Amino acid sequence: GDSVTQMEGPVTLSEEAFLTINCTYTATGYPSLFWYVQYPGEGLQLLLKATKADDKGSNKGFEATYRKETTSFHLEKGSVQVSDSAVYFCALSETGGFKTIFGAGTRLFVKA
């Protein structure tokens, strides 16, 4: 079945460091890919999405590119802030599907 694998955390960075959180997926078709973020004490919220190969999703300085050849959707940010401390989930939804499959999540700590 479809699945999402993302790097284990926690990831600890200093403010203004470069962030990469790796995500790879397995799917039978051509899924849409997402990154969700969960800030402490809050619900999950969609951070960015990409619906087809080579699409780049971006939001709040975060970016991820849909790489079909490597089945990857890595999350990047050039300069993290303390306020980016959260848990990040990579997820997919099959084309025409009505279900979202989530990865296990990666906790990010950013130190001042």
Partner 1 sequence: EAGVAQSPRYKIIEKRQSVAFWCNPISGHATLYWYQQILGQGPKLLIQFQNNGVVDDSQLPKDRFSAERLKGVDSTLKIQPAKLEDSAVYLCASSLDREKIYEQYFGPGTRLTVT
User: Which positions lie near partner 1, rule CB under 8 A?
Assistant: 4, 32, 34, 41-46, 49, 89, 91, 93, 97-105
Q: What is the rounded distance in angstroms from the CA atom of residue 24 to the CA atom of residue 70?
A: 8
Minimum distance from residue 112 beta carbon to partner 1 (Å): 26
Instruction: Judge contact between 26 and 70, C-beta under 8 A.
Output: no
Q: What is the rounded distance in angstroms from the CA atom of residue 55 to the CA atom of residue 67?
A: 8
Nearer to partner 1, 14 or 103 (CB): 103
Q: Which amino acid is at 85?
A: S
Minimum distance from residue 87 beta carbon to partner 1 (Å): 10
Nearer to partner 1, 32 or 75 (CB): 32
Nearer to partner 1, 71 or 100 (CB): 100
